[in-house]
Amino acid sequence: MRIKKLILENFRIFKERTIIDFDNLTAFIGKNDIGKSTIIEVLDIFFNDKDARVKIDKDDLSKGAASSNILIGVVFEDLPKELIIDVTVETSLKEEYLLNKDGNLEIHKIYSNDKLKGTYMLANHPTNHSLKDLLSLKISELKTRAQDLGIDLSEEDKRVASKIRKAIRENINGEIELEEIDIPIDKEGAKQIWEQLKNYMPLYALFQSDRQNVDQDSEVQDPMKIAIKKILRGEELQNRLKGIQDEVETTITEIANQTIEKLNEMNPEIAQELKPKIPEPKWESVFKGITISGDEEIPLNKRGSGVRRLILLSFFRAEAEKKKEDRSVPNIIYAFEEPETSQHPEHQRKLIDAFLELSSRDDTQIILTTHSPGMASLLPVESLRFLYKRDGQILIEKGTNEIFEKISESLGVLPSIDKEKIDKLKLIVCVEGPTDIEFFKRLFKKVDENIIIDLENDQRVILIPLGGSTLKHWVDNHYLRKLDLPEVHIYDGDKGKYKQTAQEVNNRDDGSRGFTTKKREIENYVSPNIIEQIFSELNDNTLIDRTQNNWLDEWNQLDIIPSIKTNGVSLREIKIKEKICTEGIERMTKELFQELNAYEEIEGWFSTVKNILD
């Protein structure tokens, strides 16, 4: 089951009924105090009830609300096809008319005075007089209803409520009239179905930014508790633990009986009142107090804040990896509040890569909040949800080609640069991604002194990654124009897909220039001999059979070589591209660039930058 929509009414800033769409990866972006944290916290309340990190209270009711009721609703898709109720009998949400008009499961929870008032399924349900209350009837009442309607149950198992309900619906006179109504989950058939549905509910894990980040925090403990529960739930381990339990119980019972026998010799009256009673062992409690420390035994709570958060974030990744191997557990939804907090830009990019990978899995959803346009630029446009206020109401727009313009206007594209530094800027150099930035930061050292420009430290120039999937939107909408600075754009040749985009930059009348590389990708500007050295250093053994893989000759036609593996790990998996664009470029010389017929092109890029700055 996956979240498709969230419905809020009278909860904090969302006084009017608000419907929020979700994808596999959903990122909420907007200014502070605009409702981003509210969304991930309200889901914690919905899924985790009393175990939620966030507790609902009287102050969560929207100011000026016309009612004291708070509505928290979640619409689910990817539903279980069948549910087992009445011990072994199969039924389905569709058969029981418990889906909404769109064919999804919609659960509403109503809170009042900080208490859960009721839980309902909003369903496109029969409203015929004899059908609308079937899910609330006991078996005896269902039999009476069937008898009153003249429905023969002789062929049905009259011990099974779902079969009687089905027989009544299928034999009713006239058409079944449907209407979306609330079905309470606390009565008879609905309750039975709800108990089974809870087994399919996703696990919701919330990681918030305003936390202490110590090794005993719930975010460390909770993922480990989930992992322990899953491990202990495994059939093989259950059998082994049961064997241990039986052995212990046998021995304890024997000792206890011997003790009672001896007591019987002295006081039979007391002895006959006694018998051994062995409680069920709580295996989970054995693993309390799990901590994590480094090689030098430095505890997590003594590490830097960025490292602490990164380690704790990794607990969530580890849990998702473990869950992938065990398909029997429910889906997992991970909600991360401002994952960029305390993180180096390179770590931010790696986090986004990890989130994208996780969200591509069938059993994982990722929810993010951020107020960083830099983070937004690394994400697919369709995953963004932009929150802003208009006429006192919170509006949420789903990612489109135009959303970057609103994000740019609302948040700015250079939030981390102070006014003094902006005043010194004369040029913006735009590349595709963070790996390209690492490449160009090192490349300037390889050109002649008369055109050297330190792209990393020169206060007159700034490097910005536009993101491959969003690059065209930045150019088409010219989001950086408010800085009133010329731009130099350098994109991968990549079979010419960015040539038109580069030409659009060249067509501007502000001195901007657009380039596409003559070689397919930035990595192709590193000598194949250096690439071979990097490959070899990754594994002391022979990395590839050169008689079967003429990869050096083909390098200029290839992206990364995903088929080559070292110790069973794909080169793509070990981020070989990053090593090429950092270590590889450091080892390059002017002469090696000339051997690749690339130096003249590189010289042209830096000459253009220098001419604009001078």
Residue with more model confidence, 213 or 479: 479
Domain ranges in the chain are 79-202, 219-290, 417-522+600-613, 527-587
pLDDT grade for 344, boundaries at 50, 70 and 90: low
Tell which residue, 356, 337, 323, 306, has the closest CA to residue 223: 323
pLDDT of 69 > 70? The answer is: yes
Mean pLDDT for 97-115 is 95
pLDDT grade for 324, boundaries at 50, 70 and 90: very low
Residue with more model confidence, 520 or 301: 520
**Residue 385, φ and ψ in degrees, nearest 5:** -130, 115
pLDDT grade for 568, boundaries at 50, 70 and 90: very low
Mean pLDDT for 583-596 is 90
Q: Look up residue 512 and give its DSSP letter.
A: -
pLDDT grade for 327, boundaries at 50, 70 and 90: very low
Can you tell me the distance from the alpha carbon of 512 to that of 518, in angstroms, rounded to the nearest whole number?
19
Residue with more model confidence, 472 or 221: 472
Direct distance between the N- and C-terminal alpha carbons of the chain, in angstroms, rounded to an integer: 59
Alpha helix ranges (H) inside 202-304: 218-233, 235-266, 268-271
Mean pLDDT for 18-45 is 93
206 has which bridge partners? Answer: 335
Strand order across the 69-77 sheet: 18-21, 2-9, 69-77, 105-112, 115-126, 178-184
Mean pLDDT for 360-386 is 83
Q: Which of 29-33, 105-109, 128-132, 366-370 is the most confident on average?
A: 105-109
pLDDT of 495 > 60? The answer is: no
pLDDT of residue 239: 78
pLDDT of residue 574: 37
Can you tell me the distance from the alpha carbon of 345 to that of 365, in angstroms, rounded to the nearest whole number?
24
pLDDT of residue 297: 54
pLDDT grade for 74, boundaries at 50, 70 and 90: very high
Mean pLDDT for 32-58 is 90
pLDDT grade for 100, boundaries at 50, 70 and 90: very high
> Per the structure block, which two tokens stand in for 93?
């949400």
Residue with more model confidence, 411 or 387: 387
Residue with more model confidence, 580 or 116: 116
pLDDT of residue 27: 93
Mean pLDDT for 160-168 is 90
pLDDT of 563 > 70? The answer is: no
Domain 417-522+600-613, second-level architecture: 3-Layer(aba) Sandwich (3.40)
Mean pLDDT for 34-50 is 92
106 has which bridge partners? Answer: 75
pLDDT tens-digit map of 450-463: 777 787 788 888 88
pLDDT of 572 > 90? The answer is: no
- Return contacts of 78-87, CB within 8 angstroms, 24+ apart: 78/1, 78/2, 78/331, 79/1, 79/104, 79/105, 79/200, 80/1, 80/197, 80/200, 83/193, 83/196, 83/197, 84/196, 85/162, 85/192, 85/193, 85/196, 86/159, 86/160, 86/161, 86/162, 86/192
- Please return the burial class of 184, using the count of CB atoms within 10 Å of its CB with bins 0-12, 13-18 and 19+: middle
Mean pLDDT for 56-85 is 91
DSSP codes, 309-356: HHHHHHHHHHHHHHHHH-TTSPPEEEEEE-TTTT--HHHHHHHHHHHH
Weakest mean pLDDT among 135-139, 273-277, 396-400, 594-598: 273-277
pLDDT of residue 225: 59
Mean pLDDT for 390-394 is 85
pLDDT of 548 > 50? The answer is: no
Amino acid at 112: S
pLDDT of residue 464: 78
> Are 588 and 446 within 8 A, CB to CB?
yes
